[in-house]
Amino acid sequence: MNTFNREQCELAFAAWDNCRGNYNAIKNLIPTNYVFDFDAEQINWMKTENKCTEFCAQIGIYENKMVAVLCPMDEGGHKKEVQDYPYSFLAELKEDLNLVETEEYTLVKNAVLSKDLKTVDNSSDMFWPIANKPMMEQDKAIEAIESWRNDAMIWFYRECTEFQGARIFRQFYVPAENLNPPKAGLSHMVCSFGLKFSQVYQRVLPTLIFISFYTTGLEGSENGVSVEKISNTYDWSNACPPICQFT
């Protein structure tokens, strides 16, 4: 498992903080088609160490590469002090990015016959899929990822020239549910940047989108009657700044 010690983390975080207002440096650091990749061991470590409903993915620079460091949090929403922190460098994809969304519908037909075998009622109801995890609709995920790929440098340029980098993210707070994939056999999680519009802030904000990969393909329910919505794509990551709800 790739890990940084505390000193390496602090150096990486400070390097990114010092770079955030420098557009030329950012342009060289962040190819917009690159992603982070966390293996199953790193994900399982975070599941064990994290005690909060969210965990932190903090951004840094190490050896002239952008890096995302997984930081667990305690019950009070503060970062935990641990000896080593898993990390992933921003790098080119090793394989195609396969986004999967499975929706299963259940049609229930009801028929009632009277005592003399006459039809009293004959109706049907459709049960729509319900998501039980903080998943992201596939179309929205694709739109956010493509927006990052096409427009991220324009976003960075404006943030650097008009706001001197003060509004550029230092870290992301991510729901811990993202660490619980919908099936067994997780091999790794790809973490892509995305851009999406915030109604609250009335501006485009970056996000992290987690996409899980398995040793076998993601499939729907075996019994064919589930109304659960299954996806390998998760969002809802809050960039800090502006959304710095934890200290």
pLDDT of residue 163: 97
CA distance 174 to 237: 4
Residues β-bridged to residue 205: 196
Considering only CA atoms, which of 195, 88, 101, 173 is closest in space to residue 139?
A: 101
Work out the angle at residue 196's Cα, subtended by the Cα atoms of residues 246 and 172, and round it to the nearest 5 degrees.
Answer: 25
Considering only CA atoms, which of 15, 66, 62 is closest in space to residue 37?
A: 66
pLDDT of residue 225: 34
Residue 36, phi then psi, degrees to nearest 5: -95, 150
Q: In this model, does residue 160 exceed pLDDT 50?
A: yes
The Cβ of residue 48 has, within 10 Å, a number of other Cβ atoms equal to 10
| Residue 102: pLDDT band with limits 50, 70, 90 | very low
**pLDDT tens digits, one per residue of 112-153:** 555 454 555 666 555 444 444 444 466 777 888 889 999 999
**pLDDT tens digits, one per residue of 41-51:** 999 999 999 99
CA distances from 212 to 23, 81, 205 (A): 31, 27, 23
Residue with tokens 């890096």: 67
The Cβ of residue 68 has, within 10 Å, a number of other Cβ atoms equal to 24
What's the pTM value of the predicted model, to 2 decimals?
0.78
Highest mean pLDDT among 54-63, 139-148, 174-183: 54-63
